[in-house]
Structure 1
Amino acid sequence: MTRFDGQPATEGLPLGAHPLFSSDDLDETRDCVARVYCDHRLETIGSGRLAARHNRLAGRSLSINVMTYGAKTLIAPGELERFYLFQVPIRGSASVANGPNRHEIGGGFGGVLNPDAQTCMIWSEDCVQVQVQIEKAALLDAARAEFGLPSGQTLHFDGANDMRGGEGRAFMSVLDFVMREAERGTNLVDGDTLLARQLERTLMIGVLQTQAHNLGPAVSGASGPVPRILRRAEEFMRENLQNPIMIEDIAQSAGTSVRTLQSMCRTRYGRAPMTVLRDLRLEQAWEDLSNPKLDTSVTTVAMALGFFHLGRFSEHYRRKFGCTPIETLRAAKRP
């Protein structure tokens, strides 16, 4: 049952004193979220029971939100258009496709959705996210003032960023402080006071400082700028997702040795280069299955991306996205 009556329908989650709604009805949940975000496609995946909850603290140019769906969920809003959305899971994980930017968040990593890119996400069954929704014009103003964004240039964020140390940890501490004060009855970002405006600005600058974007590096250790060698390697992998390539091919394309490439991948991603390639192919499989054509099947998608052992493909897919390939395809084809 949905609640808009101010009662703490979302006990146990941050901002529990500021409930927006709770619901176990898919259509009702979609409508409630659309009121404050945008129209979107919403589908559950698998047999999990929907138990959506959304707490919200609203300011002038941004809002702080805590959301969960309680079930494995596909969310496809297309383009957000009017706002950027920083999101970091405090439980569970999510797979994110935002235009060409595809990444995983969770385990201390967060990311930002760009408003001018097609977006599709899958949230794990236990996913609980803290989200900061920032009006596009306000964040662009902050980027121009603080980072020298040229007039007329677009601000684009990229990838998942580690929020567990350095600037990321400091930003999350500020965000946590604002949420804890809200639990005590004080909305520090509401109203036209100097403190509210300064706190909103601080949160916007925090997003700009901790997330990788086209204006410069994120100030956060391993979440800083991707080395040129790894950028070249990943570009080559993406260009050859449907081609049989070896680690020697990847290293040669990046202009480095196999040993150096292996070391850099493990330092940056915690994975071997061929595992990175496999994950990129799995992300493409998810994209293809989430946006099927009339003749799309799990077999054709897997084979096209070089997964010739369907059982192993399904297992890797399930471990990464928390559902099977056929569940993704069925949800995408559901009327």
Structure 2
Amino acid sequence: MVAQGSSLLEHAPANGSYAFTPSHQGNDFESMVHSYSMSYGRIGAQPLTNDRTFSWAADVQRKGALTFIHAYYKNPWRIRTLDETPQHLTIYMPRSGSFRTSIGTRAIEGRVGQLLMANNHELGDRFMHGHQNASDLLCLDWSVVIRTVTALLEKPVLESLDLEPVLDLTSPSGLIIGNLVGTIMQGMRNNGPLLSSPLGLSMLSEAIADLIIRFTQHRFTPCLEQKISAIAPWHVRRAIDYMHANIGEPFTIAMVADAVGVSLRALQNGFKTFRGTSPGGYLRAIRLQAAHDQLADPLNQKSVREICAIWGFFHPGRFSIAYRSAFGECPKDTRTRAAGALSAH
């Protein structure tokens, strides 16, 4: 079980010294928002009292796909995700005080002994209360989560994950996931040793994503359970091969059925049973992946609009929405990062 003792957190004593080494600290709200926006990404935030002094301290560490924040707040406040906030899996571990948020109409309250997990863009406003509110937060780039789900399901994923947000750390799954989360946090804390091991941190990023997808409840849990005992029949496998071989060509799903030698209904039923989607949905997903691969190519010279057309997406706005849902960023952000990687060399 994840330790709850001083090795992970101590509350800040009244004299203002901390039992950890803050990378950022201050006595006003604006300095906190500025620090987080510079080191983590833009956020919306608002204090919940009119106190002139807002005491806070945080150890913020970012490397690769992971961001770790160990924080202490003496005053209550509210945080919300903005459209431009980087998309990630939020793994929140309360230490003291209270934490409230929502997903849709479901109200969620964080307690000591739990992990709270969700896509930050699906969370409502988060409220931090308590005279001494302390917490650990691990943020995993959403692209790692999607890549893990895609690999496990052997199909591209465009739908929301709908992850069960509350995990009891005393449950079997909670013990496994909580121990690994605690190990990562401890390894990143106070410029810890994991920050000097990019390969190790990358492997741990993939490991935590894999454990969460395998051992918690979400939209695709039934598909994973079914996949253990079900191998797709020959006509589904042949249809997938056909789609990949002709991905850049214009064709209909009826043409795929004809090429495979089965009826359209049989093909639709096979995909629904063994891939959890329709043939058309599968084709859209692999074309979206192809668009992502081209945008991520540092040598790509084509615009986002041109790439949309190449892969059969004729409405750029809808393409952008689907792309962000699948890869955790806008198409232009992928293209910009790829261009930056090329110029850096």
What TM-score, normalized to structure 2?
0.52
Residue ranges of structure 1 left out of the alignment (5+ in a row): 1-8, 218-335
Shift of 1:48: 9.6
The letter for the 2-side match of 1:170 is I
Aligned counterpart, 1:42: 46
Residue 40 of structure 1 contacts residue 77 of structure 1 at CA under 8 Å; is this kept in 2?
yes
Equivalent in 137, 146, 151 of residue 143 of structure 2: 137
1:85-124 to structure 2, matched below 5 A, reads 85-117=90-122, 119-124=124-129
Question: After TM superposition, which residue ranges in structure 1, 4 or more long, deviate above 6 angstroms?
Answer: none
Secondary structure of the residue that 1:145 maps to in structure 2? helix
Sequence identity (%):
11
Of 154-163 and 55-64, deviating more is 154-163
User: Any conservation in 1 of the 2:89–2:119 contact (CA below 8 Å)?
Assistant: yes
Q: Report the equivalent of 1:33.
A: 36
1:152: how far off?
Answer: 2.2
Q: Distance in 1 between matches of 2:206 and 2:152?
A: 10
Structure 2 segments unaligned to the other structure (5+ residues): 1-15, 223-345
The match for 1:197 is 202
- 1:188 has 2:191 as partner: no
Three-state SS of the structure 2 residue aligned to 1:116 is: coil
User: Matches of 2:105 and 2:147 in 1, distance apart?
Assistant: 25
Change (3 A) 1:181 1:34: closer
Alpha-carbon shift at residue 211 of structure 1 (Å): 4.5
Q: 1:64 Cα deviation (Å)?
A: 1.9
Post-superposition Cα deviations, 1:180-208, rounded to whole Å, max 9, x if no partner, equal 44468643255442x23211212223443
SS in 2 for 1:129: strand
Q: Deviations over 1:110-165 (max 9, x none)?
A: 22232433620111223211111111111111222235564323323234221233
SS in structure 1 at match of 2:64: coil
Matched, 1:11 2:25: no
> 2-side partners of 1:206 and 1:168: how far apart?
10
Deviation per residue, 1:1-27 (Å, 9 max, x gap): xxxxxxxx9732xxx34x330111111
Specify the SS of the correspondent of 2:43.
coil
Q: Is the 8 A contact 1:48 1:71 kept in 2?
A: no
Equivalences for residues 294-313 of structure 1 within 5 A: none
Given residue 151 of structure 1, which amino acid in structure 2 is its aligned partner? V
Q: Go from structure 1 to structure 2 and tell me whether the alpha carbon gap of 1:205 and 1:128 turns closer, same or farther (over 3 Å shift).
A: farther
Tell me the alpha carbon deviations over residues 82-112 of structure 1, each in whole angstroms, 9 at most, x when there is no partner. 2221112022221112333421111312222
Aligned-partner SS, 2:60: strand
Change (3 A) 1:77 1:115: closer
8 Å contact from structure 2 (residues 66, 205) kept in 1: yes
The residue correspondences of 1:1-335 to structure 2 (distance < 5 A) are 11-12=18-19, 16-17=20-21, 19-35=22-38, 36-45=40-49, 50-79=54-83, 80-117=85-122, 119-125=124-130, 126-146=132-152, 150-182=156-188, 186-188=192-194, 190-193=196-199, 195-209=200-214, 211-216=216-221
* 8 Å contact from structure 2 (residues 164, 216) kept in 1: yes
Query: What is the CA RMSD across the aligned residues, in angstroms?
Result: 2.9
Rounded to whole Å, the distance in 2 between the matches of 1:10 and 1:85 is 28
Retained in 2: the 8 A contact 1:46–1:72?
A: no
Partner of 2:266: none
Aligned residues: 204
Give the conservation status (yes or no) of the 8 Å contact 1:43–1:73.
yes
Matches of 1:49 and 1:162 in 2, distance apart?
Answer: 35
Q: CA deviation at 1:178?
A: 3.3
SS at 2:221 equivalent: coil
TM-score normalised to the size of structure 1? 0.53
- CA gap 1:98/1:184 in 2 versus in 1, 3 angstroms: closer
C-alpha distance in structure 1 between counterparts of 2:52 and 2:154, whole Å: 46
CA contact (8 A) 2:164 2:217 kept: yes
Structure 2 CA distance for partners of 1:57 and 1:10, relative to 1, 3 Å: farther
